[in-house]
Amino acid sequence: MTGIVMDPVQEALDHGLRSLAGLGGDLVDHANRIGATLFSPPRVVIVGRLKAGKSTLVNALIGAPVAETAALEATRLVAVYQDGAPSRAEAVAVDGTRHPITLTRGQTARMPIEEERIAYINRWLPSAAIRDLTLIDTPGLATLTTRNETATRRVLIDGFEQTRTASVDADAAVFLFDSTPRADELAFLQELPLSPLNTLGVLSRADGFGEGALGSRDPIEQAAEHAGRVATRLAHAVSAVVPISGLMAQTSHTGALSEQHARTLAALSALDAEELVDELDRDDDGVIDARMRGELLDLLGEYGILHGRMIARDGAAALNQWLSQRSGVPMLHQLMQSSLSEFAILNRARRVIAYVDQLAYNHPARDQIRMIVHQMRTHPAMLRVALLDDLQKLLAADPYSGVVEEIRTLLLAADPAECVGLPAGSSTQDVHLHANQRLSAAQTQALSTATAAEDAALVDVARAYTALATTGRL
Protein backbone atom coordinates (compact mmCIF):
# COMPACT_ATOMS: atom_id res chain seq x y z
CA MET A 1 0.00 0.00 0.00
CA THR A 2 1.48 3.38 -0.92
CA GLY A 3 1.17 6.57 1.12
CA ILE A 4 1.11 4.70 4.43
CA VAL A 5 4.15 4.60 6.67
CA MET A 6 4.55 0.96 7.63
CA ASP A 7 6.45 -0.55 10.51
CA PRO A 8 8.54 -3.68 9.79
CA VAL A 9 5.77 -5.98 11.08
CA GLN A 10 3.18 -4.39 8.80
CA GLU A 11 5.60 -4.50 5.91
CA ALA A 12 6.23 -8.22 6.37
CA LEU A 13 2.52 -8.99 6.61
CA ASP A 14 1.64 -6.71 3.71
CA HIS A 15 4.18 -8.58 1.60
CA GLY A 16 2.52 -11.88 2.55
CA LEU A 17 -0.93 -10.55 1.72
CA ARG A 18 0.30 -9.41 -1.69
CA SER A 19 1.54 -12.95 -2.35
CA LEU A 20 -1.87 -14.22 -1.26
CA ALA A 21 -3.67 -11.88 -3.66
CA GLY A 22 -1.20 -12.99 -6.34
CA LEU A 23 -2.75 -16.47 -6.19
CA GLY A 24 -5.85 -14.88 -7.77
CA GLY A 25 -9.53 -15.87 -7.66
CA ASP A 26 -11.35 -15.31 -4.37
CA LEU A 27 -8.02 -14.87 -2.59
CA VAL A 28 -7.83 -11.29 -3.92
CA ASP A 29 -10.92 -10.39 -1.88
CA HIS A 30 -9.65 -12.28 1.15
CA ALA A 31 -6.30 -10.49 0.95
CA ASN A 32 -8.06 -7.12 0.78
CA ARG A 33 -10.32 -7.95 3.70
CA ILE A 34 -7.42 -9.10 5.85
CA GLY A 35 -5.37 -6.11 4.70
CA ALA A 36 -8.09 -3.82 6.07
CA THR A 37 -7.46 -5.35 9.50
CA LEU A 38 -3.72 -4.84 9.13
CA PHE A 39 -4.17 -1.10 8.53
CA SER A 40 -6.99 -0.46 10.99
CA PRO A 41 -6.36 0.70 14.58
CA PRO A 42 -5.90 -2.08 17.15
CA ARG A 43 -8.95 -2.74 19.32
CA VAL A 44 -9.11 -2.22 23.08
CA VAL A 45 -11.99 -3.73 25.02
CA ILE A 46 -13.17 -2.23 28.32
CA VAL A 47 -14.33 -5.00 30.65
CA GLY A 48 -15.34 -5.26 34.30
CA ARG A 49 -18.01 -5.74 36.88
CA LEU A 50 -21.50 -4.27 36.56
CA LYS A 51 -21.50 -0.51 37.21
CA ALA A 52 -17.71 -0.32 37.54
CA GLY A 53 -17.77 2.84 35.40
CA LYS A 54 -16.86 1.34 32.00
CA SER A 55 -19.13 3.49 29.83
CA THR A 56 -18.18 6.60 31.80
CA LEU A 57 -14.52 5.90 31.06
CA VAL A 58 -15.27 5.30 27.37
CA ASN A 59 -16.91 8.73 27.19
CA ALA A 60 -13.99 10.33 29.00
CA LEU A 61 -11.49 8.75 26.59
CA ILE A 62 -13.48 9.66 23.48
CA GLY A 63 -14.25 13.15 24.80
CA ALA A 64 -17.95 12.91 23.94
CA PRO A 65 -20.98 11.47 25.75
CA VAL A 66 -21.54 8.64 23.26
CA ALA A 67 -21.79 5.61 25.54
CA GLU A 68 -24.89 5.32 27.69
CA THR A 69 -24.18 5.51 31.40
CA ALA A 70 -26.63 5.26 34.24
CA ALA A 71 -26.89 4.41 37.90
CA LEU A 72 -29.80 2.06 37.21
CA GLU A 73 -29.90 1.04 33.54
CA ALA A 74 -27.24 -1.47 32.61
CA THR A 75 -25.37 -1.34 29.31
CA ARG A 76 -27.10 -4.01 27.25
CA LEU A 77 -24.99 -4.35 24.14
CA VAL A 78 -21.34 -4.55 23.23
CA ALA A 79 -20.44 -1.37 21.30
CA VAL A 80 -17.37 -0.78 19.13
CA TYR A 81 -16.38 2.92 18.86
CA GLN A 82 -14.20 3.77 15.89
CA ASP A 83 -13.07 6.90 14.11
CA GLY A 84 -15.04 7.51 10.90
CA ALA A 85 -17.31 9.91 9.09
CA PRO A 86 -20.19 10.37 8.79
CA SER A 87 -21.39 9.54 12.28
CA ARG A 88 -23.31 6.25 11.92
CA ALA A 89 -24.02 2.84 13.47
CA GLU A 90 -24.84 -0.72 12.52
CA ALA A 91 -25.81 -3.87 14.37
CA VAL A 92 -23.72 -6.96 13.63
CA ALA A 93 -25.84 -10.07 14.09
CA VAL A 94 -24.56 -13.32 15.58
CA ASP A 95 -24.74 -14.82 12.06
CA GLY A 96 -22.41 -12.08 10.76
CA THR A 97 -25.06 -10.05 8.85
CA ARG A 98 -25.00 -6.28 9.25
CA HIS A 99 -28.03 -4.01 9.82
CA PRO A 100 -27.88 -0.18 9.72
CA ILE A 101 -29.18 1.67 12.80
CA THR A 102 -31.01 4.98 12.43
CA LEU A 103 -29.53 7.52 14.84
CA THR A 104 -31.61 10.48 15.96
CA ARG A 105 -29.95 13.14 18.08
CA GLY A 106 -30.96 12.99 21.72
CA GLN A 107 -32.93 9.76 21.35
CA THR A 108 -32.14 6.18 22.24
CA ALA A 109 -31.66 4.34 18.96
CA ARG A 110 -34.11 1.58 18.01
CA MET A 111 -32.42 -1.67 17.12
CA PRO A 112 -33.11 -2.95 13.58
CA ILE A 113 -33.23 -6.60 14.76
CA GLU A 114 -34.06 -8.32 18.07
CA GLU A 115 -31.37 -7.72 20.70
CA GLU A 116 -30.89 -11.46 21.25
CA ARG A 117 -29.60 -11.73 17.68
CA ILE A 118 -27.10 -8.88 18.00
CA ALA A 119 -23.46 -9.80 18.62
CA TYR A 120 -22.30 -6.17 18.82
CA ILE A 121 -22.86 -2.63 17.58
CA ASN A 122 -20.41 -0.82 15.30
CA ARG A 123 -20.43 2.91 15.93
CA TRP A 124 -18.41 5.34 13.80
CA LEU A 125 -17.83 8.93 14.81
CA PRO A 126 -15.29 11.46 13.60
CA SER A 127 -12.93 11.73 16.59
CA ALA A 128 -9.15 12.06 16.75
CA ALA A 129 -9.27 10.41 20.19
CA ILE A 130 -10.06 7.00 18.63
CA ARG A 131 -7.91 7.35 15.51
CA ASP A 132 -5.11 5.15 16.88
CA LEU A 133 -7.15 2.84 19.12
CA THR A 134 -10.69 1.56 18.62
CA LEU A 135 -12.58 1.30 21.95
CA ILE A 136 -15.07 -1.44 22.80
CA ASP A 137 -17.59 -0.95 25.62
CA THR A 138 -19.13 -4.10 27.13
CA PRO A 139 -22.01 -4.95 29.48
CA GLY A 140 -20.91 -5.64 33.08
CA LEU A 141 -19.75 -9.09 34.12
CA ALA A 142 -21.11 -11.49 36.71
CA THR A 143 -24.46 -9.85 36.97
CA LEU A 144 -27.74 -11.20 38.21
CA THR A 145 -29.03 -10.96 34.68
CA THR A 146 -26.66 -13.43 33.10
CA ARG A 147 -27.75 -12.18 29.69
CA ASN A 148 -25.29 -9.28 29.86
CA GLU A 149 -22.46 -11.57 30.71
CA THR A 150 -23.42 -13.92 27.88
CA ALA A 151 -23.16 -11.02 25.42
CA THR A 152 -19.70 -10.07 26.65
CA ARG A 153 -18.38 -13.63 26.71
CA ARG A 154 -19.70 -14.37 23.24
CA VAL A 155 -17.82 -11.54 21.55
CA LEU A 156 -14.61 -12.01 23.53
CA ILE A 157 -14.15 -15.69 24.22
CA ASP A 158 -16.63 -18.06 22.63
CA GLY A 159 -16.76 -16.14 19.35
CA PHE A 160 -13.00 -16.28 19.18
CA GLU A 161 -12.96 -20.05 19.21
CA GLN A 162 -15.96 -20.74 17.03
CA THR A 163 -16.92 -19.08 13.77
CA ARG A 164 -15.34 -15.70 14.61
CA THR A 165 -18.37 -13.92 13.15
CA ALA A 166 -19.48 -13.01 16.67
CA SER A 167 -16.02 -11.96 17.84
CA VAL A 168 -15.06 -8.31 18.28
CA ASP A 169 -11.39 -9.29 17.94
CA ALA A 170 -9.91 -7.44 20.88
CA ASP A 171 -6.15 -6.78 20.79
CA ALA A 172 -5.92 -5.40 24.33
CA ALA A 173 -8.11 -5.03 27.39
CA VAL A 174 -8.69 -2.42 30.07
CA PHE A 175 -10.02 -4.23 33.13
CA LEU A 176 -12.01 -2.08 35.58
CA PHE A 177 -12.69 -2.92 39.22
CA ASP A 178 -13.62 -0.62 42.05
CA SER A 179 -12.16 -2.36 45.10
CA THR A 180 -10.40 -5.69 44.78
CA PRO A 181 -11.10 -7.89 41.77
CA ARG A 182 -13.18 -10.94 42.55
CA ALA A 183 -12.10 -14.49 41.75
CA ASP A 184 -14.71 -14.84 38.98
CA GLU A 185 -13.50 -11.63 37.34
CA LEU A 186 -9.91 -12.83 37.41
CA ALA A 187 -11.00 -16.17 35.98
CA PHE A 188 -12.68 -14.28 33.15
CA LEU A 189 -9.47 -12.33 32.47
CA GLN A 190 -7.50 -15.58 32.24
CA GLU A 191 -9.90 -16.80 29.60
CA LEU A 192 -9.34 -13.79 27.36
CA PRO A 193 -6.96 -14.69 24.55
CA LEU A 194 -4.61 -11.85 25.58
CA SER A 195 -1.32 -11.63 27.48
CA PRO A 196 -0.88 -9.56 30.68
CA LEU A 197 1.18 -7.11 28.61
CA ASN A 198 -2.01 -6.49 26.63
CA THR A 199 -4.10 -5.92 29.74
CA LEU A 200 -4.22 -2.79 31.90
CA GLY A 201 -5.89 -2.80 35.30
CA VAL A 202 -7.93 0.24 36.32
CA LEU A 203 -9.04 0.95 39.87
CA SER A 204 -12.15 2.95 39.09
CA ARG A 205 -14.23 5.36 41.20
CA ALA A 206 -11.05 6.46 43.00
CA ASP A 207 -12.91 9.61 44.13
CA GLY A 208 -15.13 7.43 46.34
CA PHE A 209 -12.48 4.95 47.51
CA GLY A 210 -12.39 3.87 51.18
CA GLU A 211 -14.53 6.11 53.34
CA GLY A 212 -15.17 8.39 50.37
CA ALA A 213 -14.77 12.12 49.88
CA LEU A 214 -15.89 13.01 53.39
CA GLY A 215 -13.74 10.42 55.17
CA SER A 216 -10.57 11.08 57.12
CA ARG A 217 -8.17 10.39 54.24
CA ASP A 218 -8.03 11.58 50.64
CA PRO A 219 -9.70 8.72 48.71
CA ILE A 220 -7.68 9.29 45.53
CA GLU A 221 -4.40 8.98 47.43
CA GLN A 222 -5.68 5.92 49.24
CA ALA A 223 -6.77 4.45 45.91
CA ALA A 224 -3.28 5.01 44.49
CA GLU A 225 -1.71 3.05 47.36
CA HIS A 226 -4.24 0.27 46.95
CA ALA A 227 -3.62 0.18 43.18
CA GLY A 228 0.08 -0.39 43.84
CA ARG A 229 -0.66 -3.38 46.07
CA VAL A 230 -3.16 -4.87 43.61
CA ALA A 231 -0.67 -4.43 40.75
CA THR A 232 1.89 -6.56 42.58
CA ARG A 233 -0.66 -9.24 43.30
CA LEU A 234 -2.04 -9.29 39.75
CA ALA A 235 1.31 -9.16 37.92
CA HIS A 236 0.38 -12.41 36.14
CA ALA A 237 -2.80 -10.80 34.76
CA VAL A 238 -2.19 -7.08 34.17
CA SER A 239 0.81 -4.92 33.27
CA ALA A 240 -0.13 -2.07 35.65
CA VAL A 241 -3.01 -0.77 37.76
CA VAL A 242 -4.02 2.88 37.35
CA PRO A 243 -6.42 4.59 39.78
CA ILE A 244 -8.96 6.84 38.05
CA SER A 245 -12.13 8.82 38.52
CA GLY A 246 -13.98 8.28 35.26
CA LEU A 247 -16.70 10.65 36.41
CA MET A 248 -14.36 13.60 36.89
CA ALA A 249 -12.66 12.89 33.56
CA GLN A 250 -15.96 12.47 31.74
CA THR A 251 -17.14 15.85 32.99
CA SER A 252 -13.94 17.66 32.06
CA HIS A 253 -13.24 15.89 28.75
CA THR A 254 -16.74 16.15 27.28
CA GLY A 255 -17.13 19.90 27.88
CA ALA A 256 -20.04 19.38 30.26
CA LEU A 257 -18.95 22.10 32.67
CA SER A 258 -20.18 25.70 32.27
CA GLU A 259 -19.16 29.01 33.89
CA GLN A 260 -22.45 28.89 35.74
CA HIS A 261 -21.48 25.55 37.29
CA ALA A 262 -18.14 27.02 38.37
CA ARG A 263 -19.81 30.13 39.84
CA THR A 264 -22.34 28.07 41.78
CA LEU A 265 -19.64 25.74 43.05
CA ALA A 266 -17.50 28.70 44.13
CA ALA A 267 -20.46 29.87 46.26
CA LEU A 268 -19.85 26.77 48.41
CA SER A 269 -16.21 27.66 49.08
CA ALA A 270 -17.11 29.75 52.15
CA LEU A 271 -18.70 26.78 53.99
CA ASP A 272 -16.75 24.68 56.49
CA ALA A 273 -16.77 20.90 56.04
CA GLU A 274 -19.74 20.31 58.33
CA GLU A 275 -21.86 23.01 56.71
CA LEU A 276 -20.98 21.55 53.31
CA VAL A 277 -22.14 18.06 54.33
CA ASP A 278 -25.44 19.57 55.49
CA GLU A 279 -25.79 21.51 52.27
CA LEU A 280 -25.18 18.37 50.15
CA ASP A 281 -27.70 16.38 52.18
CA ARG A 282 -30.57 18.82 51.61
CA ASP A 283 -33.35 18.26 49.10
CA ASP A 284 -34.57 21.88 49.04
CA ASP A 285 -32.88 25.14 48.08
CA GLY A 286 -30.04 26.15 50.41
CA VAL A 287 -26.87 28.14 49.72
CA ILE A 288 -27.43 27.00 46.12
CA ASP A 289 -30.68 25.91 44.54
CA ALA A 290 -31.69 22.25 44.61
CA ARG A 291 -31.59 21.71 40.83
CA MET A 292 -28.09 23.11 40.51
CA ARG A 293 -26.93 21.05 43.50
CA GLY A 294 -28.18 17.90 41.77
CA GLU A 295 -26.37 18.83 38.58
CA LEU A 296 -23.11 19.51 40.40
CA LEU A 297 -23.32 16.18 42.23
CA ASP A 298 -23.92 14.38 38.93
CA LEU A 299 -21.03 16.16 37.24
CA LEU A 300 -18.43 16.23 40.01
CA GLY A 301 -19.45 13.79 42.72
CA GLU A 302 -18.86 14.67 46.37
CA TYR A 303 -15.08 14.70 45.95
CA GLY A 304 -15.19 17.13 43.04
CA ILE A 305 -17.44 19.46 45.02
CA LEU A 306 -15.45 19.27 48.26
CA HIS A 307 -12.03 19.80 46.69
CA GLY A 308 -12.99 21.69 43.55
CA ARG A 309 -14.93 24.55 45.16
CA MET A 310 -11.84 26.67 45.93
CA ILE A 311 -10.49 26.14 42.42
CA ALA A 312 -13.91 27.03 40.97
CA ARG A 313 -13.31 30.61 42.13
CA ASP A 314 -10.80 30.86 39.24
CA GLY A 315 -13.48 29.89 36.71
CA ALA A 316 -14.63 26.88 34.69
CA ALA A 317 -11.39 26.46 32.72
CA ALA A 318 -9.30 26.15 35.89
CA LEU A 319 -11.81 23.74 37.42
CA ASN A 320 -11.85 21.70 34.23
CA GLN A 321 -8.08 21.40 34.19
CA TRP A 322 -7.97 20.36 37.84
CA LEU A 323 -10.69 17.71 37.29
CA SER A 324 -8.83 16.19 34.38
CA GLN A 325 -5.48 16.11 36.13
CA ARG A 326 -6.96 14.75 39.39
CA SER A 327 -8.99 12.08 37.54
CA GLY A 328 -5.91 10.05 36.59
CA VAL A 329 -7.32 9.51 33.10
CA PRO A 330 -4.55 11.46 31.27
CA MET A 331 -2.05 9.01 32.82
CA LEU A 332 -4.18 6.04 31.79
CA HIS A 333 -4.54 7.50 28.31
CA GLN A 334 -0.78 7.81 28.03
CA LEU A 335 -0.26 4.16 28.99
CA MET A 336 -2.91 3.13 26.48
CA GLN A 337 -1.19 5.09 23.71
CA SER A 338 2.28 3.76 24.55
CA SER A 339 2.84 0.29 26.01
CA LEU A 340 -0.70 -1.06 25.65
CA SER A 341 -0.82 0.14 22.07
CA GLU A 342 2.55 -1.41 21.28
CA PHE A 343 1.43 -4.87 22.39
CA ALA A 344 -2.02 -4.43 20.84
CA ILE A 345 -0.32 -3.84 17.49
CA LEU A 346 1.59 -7.12 17.91
CA ASN A 347 -1.66 -8.89 18.70
CA ARG A 348 -3.29 -7.42 15.60
CA ALA A 349 -0.41 -8.92 13.60
CA ARG A 350 -1.12 -12.27 15.21
CA ARG A 351 -4.77 -11.97 14.14
CA VAL A 352 -3.74 -11.23 10.57
CA ILE A 353 -1.67 -14.43 10.42
CA ALA A 354 -4.51 -16.39 12.03
CA TYR A 355 -6.94 -15.17 9.34
CA VAL A 356 -4.62 -16.29 6.55
CA ASP A 357 -3.99 -19.57 8.33
CA GLN A 358 -7.73 -20.20 8.51
CA LEU A 359 -8.04 -19.91 4.73
CA ALA A 360 -5.64 -22.83 4.38
CA TYR A 361 -8.10 -25.22 6.03
CA ASN A 362 -10.51 -25.64 3.16
CA HIS A 363 -9.09 -23.78 0.19
CA PRO A 364 -7.94 -25.58 -2.99
CA ALA A 365 -4.73 -23.50 -2.88
CA ARG A 366 -4.04 -24.64 0.69
CA ASP A 367 -0.42 -25.64 0.04
CA GLN A 368 0.53 -22.24 -1.35
CA ILE A 369 -1.40 -20.51 1.46
CA ARG A 370 0.46 -22.59 4.06
CA MET A 371 3.74 -21.58 2.46
CA ILE A 372 2.74 -17.91 2.73
CA VAL A 373 1.76 -18.35 6.39
CA HIS A 374 5.09 -20.03 7.05
CA GLN A 375 6.97 -17.12 5.45
CA MET A 376 4.96 -14.62 7.47
CA ARG A 377 5.61 -16.46 10.73
CA THR A 378 9.34 -16.90 10.22
CA HIS A 379 10.06 -13.36 9.00
CA PRO A 380 12.60 -11.79 11.42
CA ALA A 381 10.31 -8.81 12.05
CA MET A 382 7.64 -11.18 13.40
CA LEU A 383 9.77 -12.50 16.27
CA ARG A 384 8.16 -10.18 18.83
CA VAL A 385 4.71 -11.28 17.63
CA ALA A 386 5.72 -14.91 18.13
CA LEU A 387 7.15 -14.20 21.61
CA LEU A 388 3.94 -12.48 22.71
CA ASP A 389 1.93 -15.46 21.46
CA ASP A 390 4.29 -17.81 23.35
CA LEU A 391 3.91 -15.76 26.53
CA GLN A 392 0.14 -15.99 26.46
CA LYS A 393 0.12 -19.74 25.76
CA LEU A 394 2.79 -20.45 28.34
CA LEU A 395 0.90 -18.54 31.05
CA ALA A 396 -2.15 -20.67 30.29
CA ALA A 397 -0.30 -24.01 30.22
CA ASP A 398 2.64 -23.56 32.59
CA PRO A 399 2.55 -20.21 34.45
CA TYR A 400 5.52 -21.09 36.71
CA SER A 401 7.90 -21.91 33.86
CA GLY A 402 11.09 -19.87 34.09
CA VAL A 403 10.71 -19.06 30.41
CA VAL A 404 7.83 -16.69 31.30
CA GLU A 405 10.24 -14.18 32.87
CA GLU A 406 12.70 -14.63 30.02
CA ILE A 407 10.08 -13.72 27.42
CA ARG A 408 8.86 -10.78 29.47
CA THR A 409 12.41 -9.45 29.63
CA LEU A 410 12.85 -9.84 25.87
CA LEU A 411 9.56 -8.05 25.17
CA LEU A 412 9.89 -5.25 27.71
CA ALA A 413 13.58 -4.46 27.28
CA ALA A 414 14.34 -0.89 26.30
CA ASP A 415 17.39 -1.90 24.25
CA PRO A 416 19.33 -5.04 23.13
CA ALA A 417 21.47 -5.00 26.29
CA GLU A 418 18.42 -5.24 28.55
CA CYS A 419 17.19 -8.19 26.46
CA VAL A 420 20.08 -10.25 27.79
CA GLY A 421 19.92 -8.92 31.35
CA LEU A 422 22.64 -6.26 31.01
CA PRO A 423 22.24 -2.59 31.93
CA ALA A 424 20.90 -0.45 29.07
CA GLY A 425 23.67 0.92 26.89
CA SER A 426 26.17 -1.92 27.52
CA SER A 427 28.72 -2.57 24.75
CA THR A 428 27.80 -4.56 21.64
CA GLN A 429 30.56 -7.01 22.51
CA ASP A 430 29.00 -7.72 25.91
CA VAL A 431 25.56 -8.10 24.33
CA HIS A 432 26.93 -10.68 21.87
CA LEU A 433 28.67 -12.59 24.64
CA HIS A 434 25.63 -12.71 26.92
CA ALA A 435 23.30 -13.54 24.04
CA ASN A 436 25.48 -16.55 23.19
CA GLN A 437 25.49 -17.72 26.80
CA ARG A 438 21.73 -17.40 27.00
CA LEU A 439 21.37 -19.17 23.69
CA SER A 440 23.24 -22.24 24.99
CA ALA A 441 21.22 -22.17 28.20
CA ALA A 442 17.96 -22.08 26.20
CA GLN A 443 19.15 -24.94 24.01
CA THR A 444 20.00 -27.04 27.07
CA GLN A 445 16.64 -26.24 28.63
CA ALA A 446 14.90 -27.25 25.40
CA LEU A 447 16.08 -30.83 25.97
CA SER A 448 13.81 -31.24 28.99
CA THR A 449 10.69 -29.12 28.66
CA ALA A 450 7.57 -29.68 30.73
CA THR A 451 4.91 -28.68 28.19
CA ALA A 452 4.43 -28.19 24.45
CA ALA A 453 3.94 -24.48 25.16
CA GLU A 454 7.35 -24.29 26.81
CA ASP A 455 8.85 -26.22 23.92
CA ALA A 456 7.45 -23.78 21.36
CA ALA A 457 8.44 -20.78 23.48
CA LEU A 458 12.06 -21.94 23.77
CA VAL A 459 12.34 -22.22 19.98
CA ASP A 460 11.45 -18.52 19.67
CA VAL A 461 13.59 -17.54 22.66
CA ALA A 462 16.55 -19.26 20.97
CA ARG A 463 15.76 -17.39 17.74
CA ALA A 464 15.78 -14.14 19.72
CA TYR A 465 19.21 -14.83 21.27
CA THR A 466 20.57 -15.90 17.90
CA ALA A 467 19.44 -12.59 16.41
CA LEU A 468 20.99 -10.69 19.34
CA ALA A 469 24.25 -12.66 19.08
CA THR A 470 24.60 -12.13 15.34
CA THR A 471 22.94 -8.82 14.41
CA GLY A 472 22.98 -7.29 17.91
CA ARG A 473 19.25 -6.53 17.59
CA LEU A 474 15.90 -8.23 18.04
Ligand X SMILES: Nc1nc2c(ncn2[C@@H]2O[C@H](COP(=O)(O)OP(=O)(O)OP(=O)(O)O)[C@@H](O)[C@H]2O)c(=O)[nH]1
Binding site for Mg ion (CB under 5 A): 54-55, 75
Nearer to Mg ion, 50 or 214 (CB): 50
Name the residue nearer to Mg ion (CB basis): 77 or 404.
77
Shortest Å, Cβ 242 to ligand X: 12
The least distance separating Mg ion from the CB of residue 295, rounded to whole angstroms, comes to 21
In the complex with ligand X, which residue's Cβ is closer, 52 or 458? 52
Instruction: In angstroms, give the least distance from the CB of 446 to ligand X.
Output: 45
Do residues 451 and 396 make contact, with C-beta atoms less than 8 angstroms apart? no
* Residue in 5, 144, 123 with CA at minimum distance from that of residue 55: 123
Nearer to Mg ion, 16 or 301 (CB): 301
Neighbours of 70 (CB within 10 A): 10
Q: How far is the CB of 151 from Mg ion (least distance, A)?
A: 12
What does 347 bind: ligand X, Mg ion, none (CB cut-off 5 to 8 Å by kind)? none
Residues 6+ apart with CB under 8 A from 103: 87, 88, 89, 109
Q: Which does 245 bind (CB under 5 to 8 A by kind): Mg ion, ligand X, none?
A: ligand X
Residue 14 or 302: the one with the smaller Cβ distance to ligand X is 302
Residue whose CB is less far from ligand X, 331 or 396: 331
Residue 53's binding partner among Mg ion, ligand X, none (Cβ under 5 to 8 angstroms by kind) is ligand X
CB of 329 to ligand X, least distance (A): 9
Instruction: Give the C-alpha separation, 75 to 59, whole Å.
Output: 13
Q: Is 162 exposed, middle or buried (0-12, 13-18, 19+ CB in 10 A)?
A: exposed
Whole-number Å distance between alpha carbons of 190 and 206: 25
> Which residues in this chain contact ligand X in the complex, by CB under 6 A?
50-56, 69-71, 74-75, 139-140, 204-205, 207-208, 245-247, 301
Residue 268 near residue 288 (C-beta atoms within 8 A): yes
Report in angstroms how near the CB of residue 75 gets to Mg ion at its nearest: 3
Strand order in the sheet with 134-137: 98-101, 88-93, 118-125, 79-83, 134-137, 43-48, 172-177, 199-203, 241-243
* Cβ nearer to Mg ion, comparing 101 with 396: 101
Partner whose footprint covers residue 199, from Mg ion, ligand X, none (CB < 5 to 8 Å by kind): none
Picked from Mg ion, ligand X, none, the partner binding residue 19 (CB below 5 to 8 A depending on kind) is none
Question: Residue 205 binds what, of Mg ion, ligand X, none (CB under 5 to 8 Å, by partner type)?
Answer: ligand X
Indicate the residue type of 467: A
Question: CB 237 → ligand X: shortest distance, Å?
Answer: 19
Question: For residue 239, which amino acid is it?
Answer: S
Q: What is the number of the residue whose Cβ is closest to Mg ion?
A: 75
- Note if the bond before 112 is cis, omega within 30 degrees: no
Element (H, E) at 260: helix 259-266
Contact 211, 220 (CB under 8 A): no
Do residues 155 and 97 touch, judged by C-beta distance below 8 A?
Answer: no
- Residue 369 contacts residue 363 (beta carbons within 8 Å): yes
- 52 phi, psi to nearest 5 deg: -75, -15
Least spacing, CB of residue 295 vs ligand X, in Å: 13
Q: Tell me if 244 sits within 8 A of 324, measured CB to CB.
A: no
Nearer residue to ligand X within complex by CB, 123 or 384: 123
Q: Which residue is nearest to ligand X (CB)?
A: 140
Partner that binds at residue 51, options Mg ion, ligand X, none, CB closer than 5 to 8 Å by kind = ligand X
416 binds, among ligand X, Mg ion, none (CB under 5 to 8 A by kind): none
Q: What secondary structure does DSSP assign to 6-22, as a single string?
A: --HHHHHHHHHHHHHHH
CB of 458 to ligand X, least distance (A): 41
Among residues 20 and 300, whose Cβ is nearest to ligand X? 300
